Chain A
Amino acid sequence: MPQSFFFAAWKHGIVNLKCSVFGMVTKRTTVYELHLPGYPFNEKGRMYRSIVLVKQVPDTANITGNVMQDDGTVNRAKLPAILNHEDRIALEVALQVKDQYGGTVTAITMGPPRASDILRECLYMGADHACLITDRKFAGADTLATSYVLSEAIKKIGGFDFIFAGRQAIDGDTAQVGPQTAEKLHIPQITYLEEIRSVNGRTVEAKRKIEGGYEIVRCTLPVLITVVKDAASPRPFKAKRVMAYKGARSLLELEKLAEGNSLLSVEELVGEYEGRSLLIETMTMDDLRLDAARCGVHGSPTKVHKVQSVVLSGGEHEIIEPTKTDIGKLIDRLFEDHILG
């Protein structure tokens, strides 16, 4: 997968194009002001709207006997589906921004109908809104197709200052969806966030993890931020919110409820749930202006050719120091291998 190499370089802080960087490790001073017509910026300065990208993943950390199949693969159906851990931390960081500076937090996920489970969890932690992006036509999406749909959904939601996401999901480990989403929205990104140091007006100052250290970056809003697991300790569910939002349902869940009971109509249910603030906003293909060829399996160039277990031994890697010379050499190498360019 060519992208993954590119993003591997990116996420290690070697390619860091749109943020001003000062301080600890490297010294670059380019400040990019970003103006995107159509995005209503928050001018009050102390109210921030955050969107958090979350994903439902199989609980690979708790694999028990009956989950492993004879051929050595994992039976996903038998694994409990959980909120990806680093996404939970992304939500925590978003909630901390809200606690400290005020604002709102919206959790969104692209996934099958049962992904509303994790959206309810986000509501239990403190998210103000939740949105399920779901359609059979989105199935089989790789990171490219996923980030395309997510970015279009985010455009529709609009008016955000921050987008937070976990660094990567434990099922695919690609760490691509966050960065790709930022690219498609044409906004800067800060990957590997360890700490939001301050938010001041339209500027965020953040500490991000890099190999062998960290760097402090400053960036204008809106920005997409992916977080590492040390960035925060996720808060527990709040009992009051659990009780208040246990009945929150997506449109699909309400449709299912209506299917099973001829006395119920979907329209009435939607009205009722909306009235009680229990409707999980649901977006499908029809709600978004999408190019079908870029969605789901059709929009996914990634094809898994073969899965094998590789054990790396020492001496197979090359350390590139974050110096001007070394980075220059790396870029040359990437061009040589036709990974860049």
Chain B
Amino acid sequence: MSNYFLDNKDLLFHFDGFSRRDDFGDMRSIVATAEDAYGQAKEFNYAPVNFDDAMENYAKVLEVVGDLAANRIAPRTAGVDHEGATIHDGIVSYAKGTQDNLRELAQADLMGMVLPRKYGGLNFPFTIYMMAVEVVSRADASLMNLFGLQDIADTIRKFGNERQRQEFLPKFCTGEYTGAMALTEPDAGSDLQSIKLQAYQDNEGQWYLRGVKRFITNGSGDVLLVLARSEPGTKDGRGLSMFVCHGGNNLKVRRIENKLGIHGSPTCELQFNDTPAQLVGSRKFGLIKYVLDLMYRARMGVSAQALGISQAAYEEALQYAKDRVQFGRSIYSLPAVSNILVDMRVTLEVNRSLFYAAALSVDRKEKLEESIEELKEQGKPFAEQMADLKQAVKVANLLTPVTKYVLTESANRIAYDALQIHGGTGYMKEFRVERLARDARITNIYEGTSQMQIVAASGQVVNDILKDYFDKKEADEYPGGLIPLANCLKEIRQIFYESLKYVIEKKDSSFQDVASKDLVELYSYLIIGYLVMDEAKRDARKVFIANRYILGALALARKNTESIKSGLYSDLLHADEILRD
């Protein structure tokens, strides 16, 4: 029996690494916080009694996810892609395979992985949940859009009141409810501040929603989180509040989109006709607090999807290259092909390193928030935790957009290369790789385009918020073989500072907008570079990964800085002339 968790040595390497690191998040304290110092075992027979027990639980459950993904979900994927979600008389149906997948994921208790046990959840750390999302996405990327929406329930947990938690969370855990996050509107995509959907109250204080939302993933779901304008007359994000409402007959699904990929996931246009809703949290905090918080997890979910697609595409390419014989030998042995395969594999592995560092950073941030809440309640001092949280927020604000940018762009590249290795065959529907190429294409668009991720990350990059971390890493001792690579990273860092200085001194905001892509990329080489150096110290095979990645990154860094300093972008002043009809 194949298993998408157990057969992935690199995934196991990271899982094993969780208890050995504390760079971006320390799993021991993350789990201890989540488990109230292991006090829950008295009440729940499936709660861990200590850290090792918790890790064994996570491994065992990921094994269940890996089994489901390999043996039940993956065989249905072609059918799901072909059949897709459908709409008939305003009623949306999932493909047969999607229905089976959701039923079995619910039977396996996997629909409330991060939710507290008292609501029926598993109370897992976010990082472990992300591992499950990666595994599921490798089997069927479109299923991530349903399985990966557990964050919606988690947002209700974080910001809703106890009555709302009781009303919604248990049914998310049993799989009875699926959710949707209704943000986008026809005129409010990347620019969520211009949302128009109206929220108003009657004399009794009951809220209603009126207006249209578009491109809503699983908008036909049972529970919707809706961002709406609750303060009439306002124009920006401060007039928006978060609402929760039931789906079904309370609103109309006007249409579902006919898409390039992720056919299993229905993308809906919704019409709210005075739909009764409940306010989540406080008025006016909808965008500026709750959606921004949700975004950490949403970016990570899509990154996990991209990583799963990358893994699947790499495997298809590797297998095909081994099987396909041309010129009397398998094309795997042709240097031009094996070079692509090595690139794909190295990209896949370093992306995974970045991904799990980012996931840990989100976990660290959330657990610090929880600890502070608890200390506040107990009337204890929390200044120390507050300082930690400040830095943790900055790190998560850096790592999550960088991860989404790097991983989703990579997924497209890897799917592209996988198709290339298949040659003409890959262009045909009979082979899985064409679906992967189609599914990958949305990942660098939704939940914030790559361009928006650059914007989100650039503030942290310009402020060099990982300075102390890089200083420490530079001062680390490396075994002989790794010293040249450590020197490369020092050089990249110098290039980054020179480029940053150049951009700042130029004092031209249009130029800074364009150059920030290069700056974010330069910073990403350093983040990933030092992560893989740590791994290379732990595992001899990873030296190869570090070598190719860092030498490649140095070459790219030289290109990035050349683009910045050469005046390449100065022609943007003449964009209208260049683009003239």
Which of A's residues lie within 8 Å of B, judged by CB?
Answer: 59, 62, 82, 235-244, 246, 276-277
- Asked if B61 and A243 make an inter-chain contact with CB atoms under 8 angstroms apart, the answer reads yes
Which of B's residues lie within 8 Å of A, judged by CB?
Answer: 1, 45-48, 56-57, 60-61, 64, 67-68, 72, 104, 107-110, 122
Complexed CA–CA distance, A255 and B46 (Å)? 25
Residues of chain A within 8 A (CB-CB) of B109 are 238-241
Count, A-B residue pairs, CB within 8 A: 49
Residues of chain A within 8 A (CB-CB) of B61 are 239, 242-243
Q: Can you name 6 A-B residue pairings with CB atoms under 8 Å?
A: A82-B1, A235-B104, A235-B108, A242-B64, A243-B46, A243-B47
Residues of chain A within 8 A (CB-CB) of B104 are 235-236
Would A246 and B60 be within 8 Å (CB), given that A82-B1, A235-B104, A239-B108 are in contact?
A: yes
Complexed CA–CA distance, A246 and B60 (Å)? 8
Name the residue in A62, A235, A239, A240 with the highest tally of chain B Cβ atoms < 10 Å from its Cβ: A239
Complexed CA–CA distance, A238 and B110 (Å)? 8
Would A62 and B60 be within 8 Å (CB), given that A235-B107, A238-B109, A244-B45 are in contact?
A: no
- Asked if B122 and A239 make an inter-chain contact with CB atoms under 8 angstroms apart, the answer reads yes
Contact partner of B108 (CB less than 8 A), chosen from A59, A62, A236, A244, is: A236
- Asked if A277 and B45 make an inter-chain contact with CB atoms under 8 angstroms apart, the answer reads yes
Residues of chain A within 8 A (CB-CB) of B67 are 236-237
Residues of chain A within 8 A (CB-CB) of B46 are 239-241, 243-244
Residues of chain A within 8 A (CB-CB) of B64 are 236-237, 239, 242
6 smallest CB-CB distances across A and B, nearest first, come from A243-B46, A239-B109, A236-B108, A244-B45, A244-B46, A240-B46
Residues of chain A within 8 A (CB-CB) of B122 are 239-240, 243
Complexed CA–CA distance, A238 and B120 (Å)? 13
Q: How far is the CB of A86 from chain B (nearest CB, A)?
A: 16
- Asked if B60 and A243 make an inter-chain contact with CB atoms under 8 angstroms apart, the answer reads yes
Residues of chain B within 8 A (CB-CB) of A240 are 46, 109, 122
Q: How far is the CB of A41 from chain B (nearest CB, A)?
A: 32
Residues of chain A within 8 A (CB-CB) of B45 are 244, 276-277
Which partner residue on chain A sits nearest B112 by CB separation? A239
Complexed CA–CA distance, A241 and B67 (Å)? 16
Which partner residue on chain A sits nearest B100 by CB separation? A233
Complexed CA–CA distance, A276 and B243 (Å)? 44
Contact partner of A237 (CB less than 8 A), chosen from B1, B48, B56, B108, is: B108
- For the complex with contacts A236-B104, A242-B61, A243-B61, 15 further pairs of A-B residues with Cβ separation under 8 Å are A59-B1, A235-B108, A236-B72, A238-B107, A239-B46, A239-B61, A239-B64, A239-B109, A239-B110, A240-B109, A242-B57, A243-B48, A244-B45, A244-B46, A246-B56
Residues of chain B within 8 A (CB-CB) of A277 are 45
Q: How far is the CB of B88 from chain A (nearest CB, A)?
A: 26
Q: How far is the CB of B181 from chain A (nearest CB, A)?
A: 25
Residues of chain B within 8 A (CB-CB) of A82 are 1
Residues of chain B within 8 A (CB-CB) of A239 are 46, 61, 64, 108-110, 122
- Asked if A236 and B60 make an inter-chain contact with CB atoms under 8 angstroms apart, the answer reads no
Q: How far is the CB of B435 from chain A (nearest CB, A)?
A: 24
Complexed CA–CA distance, A244 and B48 (Å)? 9
Would A62 and B1 be within 8 Å (CB), given that A239-B122, A240-B122 are in contact?
A: yes
Complexed CA–CA distance, A237 and B62 (Å)? 11
Name the residue in B46, B57, B72 with the highest tally of chain A Cβ atoms < 10 Å from its Cβ: B46
Residues of chain A within 8 A (CB-CB) of B1 are 59, 62, 82
Residues of chain B within 8 A (CB-CB) of A241 are 46, 109
- Asked if B107 and A243 make an inter-chain contact with CB atoms under 8 angstroms apart, the answer reads no
Which partner residue on chain B sits nearest A276 by CB separation? B45
Complexed CA–CA distance, A240 and B1 (Å)? 22
Which partner residue on chain B sits nearest A82 by CB separation? B1
Residues of chain A within 8 A (CB-CB) of B72 are 236
Which partner residue on chain A sits nearest B117 by CB separation? A240
Which partner residue on chain A sits nearest B122 by CB separation? A239
Which partner residue on chain A sits nearest B61 by CB separation? A239
- Asked if A243 and B108 make an inter-chain contact with CB atoms under 8 angstroms apart, the answer reads no
Complexed CA–CA distance, A145 and B227 (Å)? 69
Residues of chain A within 8 A (CB-CB) of B48 are 243
Residues of chain A within 8 A (CB-CB) of B47 are 243
Complexed CA–CA distance, A246 and B57 (Å)? 8
Q: How far is the CB of B122 from chain A (nearest CB, A)?
A: 6
Which partner residue on chain B sits nearest A59 by CB separation? B1
Q: How far is the CB of B430 from chain A (nearest CB, A)?
A: 25
Complexed CA–CA distance, A239 and B64 (Å)? 7
Q: How far is the CB of B407 from chain A (nearest CB, A)?
A: 26
Q: How far is the CB of A92 from chain B (nearest CB, A)?
A: 11
Which partner residue on chain A sits nearest B107 by CB separation? A235
Which partner residue on chain A sits nearest B120 by CB separation? A240
Residues of chain B within 8 A (CB-CB) of A238 are 107-109
Which partner residue on chain A sits nearest B103 by CB separation? A235
Which partner residue on chain B sits nearest A241 by CB separation? B46
Complexed CA–CA distance, A55 and B72 (Å)? 23
Q: How far is the CB of B104 from chain A (nearest CB, A)?
A: 5
- Asked if A242 and B60 make an inter-chain contact with CB atoms under 8 angstroms apart, the answer reads yes
Which partner residue on chain B sits nearest A238 by CB separation? B109
Complexed CA–CA distance, A239 and B57 (Å)? 9
Complexed CA–CA distance, A241 and B107 (Å)? 11
